[in-house]
């Protein structure tokens, strides 16, 4: 057996998340063959342990198939960056924001935007510097819910000043477009828009940027995770089983994107009757607890169906700010405290790290030519015309 046989065999080992193999990438070095003994180095740019382990296992199995008995594989990778501050490892295109919180759901209409608004306001009321980014470019609702619809942000050079309400800085595609206008988004445009929201908006030095996502697990979620280290993910769900199935997808996405899961918000959980204050069960209550357990997380709030919440959203007068003594406002405040404690814990343990979701390639090798998603990318679910997005966030279009 020769060096060429070894390299040929290792062409069957693809780099996780890409279609290119480790030989083509130029990662395989120092191959030494001596009878049935082989030694080599795999020199990679990702420090993620799972990438290392997967490459070692697959390479070993390919070399065994060739007939080698002694296999010595040395995987070299940069040491995992550790930081004990609010900051981060991996890529961060908005370094002045200390923590990013992704509010997500598998299903539309379950209350992500309502949750994002009320959590952001609750954290601001608790003294934090908070921003709210409406990353739902298909259906931006945040301006109305925050009472800033119709207001146009100030442009400074090629940057945009966020709007402000209830102590929260706000940006939304809805504030940049004319009322009622709709845009048709291609995958690559979604990525650009999300990146610009992070790079070109003049956010202050924020403690937390809450990001209201479009429903599902698609390009917007992946781009966000590749652009900034997301400190905490929150999944919003309603209690019905059909909604829970979708929320599992959202929780699974957090795991794949290495986003620490802060918890589930069970929304529309029971009904508080405005005339009698009694709470009754409509969609079911408490059904999310087993799902939270499955994903080793917790339910951080149960928010009832309450007409005041819907009215607050429609009129731009969020319940957390305008009815601070209501049961619902108290639950949002408690969820916000929970979230802040979780963020502190993540940071105390070294901070969020998105280096494992980067399309890592050595200099001169294009990730885009591989065609597949980034490492650990979730199944793509965003509606997308054929051939319009590579889904990698690599900017290849
Ligand atoms: N707990 C609640 N009680 C009463 N109404 C609610 C509650 N939560 C949300 N709503 C209302 O339900 C509607 C949908 O909520 P929201 O827009 O927050 O959902 P979403 O998940 O962001 O939807 P989309 O997926 O379309 O972005 C809104 O009119 C909102 O005011
Ligand atoms: Mg929404």
Interval 143-169: pLDDT, tens:
999 999 999 999 999 899 999 999 999
Q: Is the pLDDT of residue 294 over 90?
A: yes
pLDDT score at 323: 96
Share of the chain above pLDDT 70, in %: 85
Name the closest-CA residue to atom 31, ligand 1: 310
Q: Is the pLDDT of residue 73 over 50?
A: yes
Nearest partner of 12 among 77, 65, 75, 69, judged by Cα? 65
Segment 74-87 mean pLDDT: 60
β-strand partners of 301: 265
DSSP 274-304: TTT--EE-SS-SSTHHHHHHHTT--EEEEEE
Residue 306 backbone class (left: φ over 0; alpha: ψ -120 to 50; beta: rest): beta
Q: Is the pLDDT of residue 366 over 60?
A: no
Could you list which residues have their CB under 5 Å from ion ligand 2?
112-113, 136, 141
373 CB neighbour count, 10 Å cutoff: 23
pTM of this structure: 0.73
Q: Report how far residue 103's alpha carbon sits from residue 97's, in angstroms, rounded to the nearest whole number.
A: 16
Segment 102-121 mean pLDDT: 96
Q: How far is the CA of 109 from the centre of ligand 2 (A)?
A: 7
Question: Which pLDDT tens digit goes with each residue over 164-190?
Answer: 999 999 999 989 887 767 777 777 788
Give the full edge-to-edge strand order of the sheet including 37-43. 28-34, 37-43, 70-76
The owner of tokens 């063959």 is 33
- In the 8-state DSSP scheme, what is residue 353? B
Check: CB of residue 103 under 8 Å from CB of residue 112. yes
Pocket test for ligand 1, best of 103, 104, 107, 109 (most atoms within 8 A of CB): 109
The three-point CA angle 395-396-397 to 5° equals: 95
Q: Is the pLDDT of residue 133 over 70?
A: yes
DSSP 379-391: PP-S---TTS--S
Segment 355-378 mean pLDDT: 51
Segment 347-369 mean pLDDT: 68
């Amino acid at each position: 057996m020769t060096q060429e046989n070894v390299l040929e065999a290792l062409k069957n080992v693809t780099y996780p998340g890409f279609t290119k193999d480790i030989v083509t990438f130029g990662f395989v070095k120092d191959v030494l063959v001596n009878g049935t003994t082989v030694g080599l180095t795999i020199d990679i740019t990702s420090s993620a342990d799972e990438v290392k382990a997967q490459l070692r296992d697959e390479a070993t199995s390919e070399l065994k198939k060739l007939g080698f008995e002694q296999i010595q594989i040395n995987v070299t990778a940069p040491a995992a960056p550790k930081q004990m501050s609010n900051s981060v490892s991996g890529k961060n295109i908005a370094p002045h924001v200390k923590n990013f919180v992704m509010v997500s759901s598998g299903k539309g209409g379950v209350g992500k935007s309502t949750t994002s608004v009320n959590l952001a306001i609750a954290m601001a009321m608790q003294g934090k510097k908070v921003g709210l980014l409406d990353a739902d470019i298909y259906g931006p609702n945040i301006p109305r819910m925050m009472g800033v619809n119709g207001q146009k942000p100030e442009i400074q050079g090629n940057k945009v000043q966020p709007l402000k309400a209830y102590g929260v800085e706000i940006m939304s595609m809805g504030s940049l477009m004319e009322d009622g206008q709709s845009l048709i988004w291609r995958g690559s445009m979604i990525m650009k828009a999300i990146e610009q929201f992070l790079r070109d908006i003049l956010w202050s030095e924020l403690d937390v940027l809450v990001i209201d996502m479009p429903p599902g697990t698609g390009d917007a979620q992946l781009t966000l995770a590749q652009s900034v280290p997301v400190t905490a993910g929150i999944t919003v769900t309603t209690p019905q089983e059909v909604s829970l199935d979708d929320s599992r997808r959202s929780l699974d996405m957090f795991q794949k994107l290495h986003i620490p899961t802060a918890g589930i918000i069970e929304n529309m959980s029971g009904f508080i009757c405005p005339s009698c204050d009694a709470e009754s069960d409509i969609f079911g209550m408490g059904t999310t607890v087993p799902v939270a357990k499955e994903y080793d997380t917790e339910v951080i709030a149960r928010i009832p169906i309450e007409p005041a919440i819907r009215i607050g959203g429609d009129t731009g007068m969020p319940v957390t700010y305008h009815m601070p003594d209501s049961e619902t406002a108290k639950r949002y405040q408690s969820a916000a405290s929970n979230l802040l404690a979780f963020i502190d814990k993540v940071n105390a343990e070294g901070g969020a790290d998105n280096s494992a979701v980067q399309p890592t390639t050595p200099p001169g090798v294009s990730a885009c030519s591989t065609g597949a998603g980034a490492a650990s990318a979730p199944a793509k679910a965003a509606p997308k015309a054929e051939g319009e997005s590579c889904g990698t966030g690599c900017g290849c279009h």
